[in-house]
Amino acid sequence: MIEGLTMEATVGAELLQVAMERLAAAAGLLEQAVERLTARQDAFAIVAEGRREAELEGQLAAAEARIAALQASVPFAVTHGRKTLPVAMVTLLAKQGVTVDSMEAGALDAALGSLSIEQRIAVKAQLMRAGLLNGS
């Protein structure tokens, strides 16, 4: 009977050893799974961060486009409230017989007729910047 117990104890010890090995293998697999899940979570975090950056860049581009559109819709450059012309421009207009106070588009075109096209464009651009001439 003691031999029977010994044999049963040996079989039990072997089964216990096999069970321990299986548990160790399962623990190793669980550790690998945790490492893969952690790596995947880090990858998802990086992707989410990249998407957020792309979203913010898109919003910035839209804001810049809107600013550019608003600036393009302004018919003349903002001169901080100044509505005067440079002295050289006033002198050039005076030589052509145009006074800044009584400027009409037709009179301006007639007066600037003797100037080159570049000079006429420059004069009209200065008048528009100063707010003294509407886009005519």
pLDDT computed for residue 22 by the predictor: 93
> Amino acid identity of 31?
E
Residue of 91, 118, 123, 122 whose CA lies nearest to 108: 123
d(CA 112, CA 107) in angstroms, rounded, equals: 8
- Range scoring the smallest mean pLDDT among 44-58, 87-101, 117-131: 87-101
Q: What digits encode the pLDDT tens for the residues 76-97?
A: 554 444 556 667 777 777 777 6
Q: Give 92's contacts (C-beta < 8 A, 6+ positions apart).
A: 119, 123
pTM of structure: 0.35
d(CA 83, CA 73) in angstroms, rounded, equals: 19
pLDDT computed for residue 9 by the predictor: 80
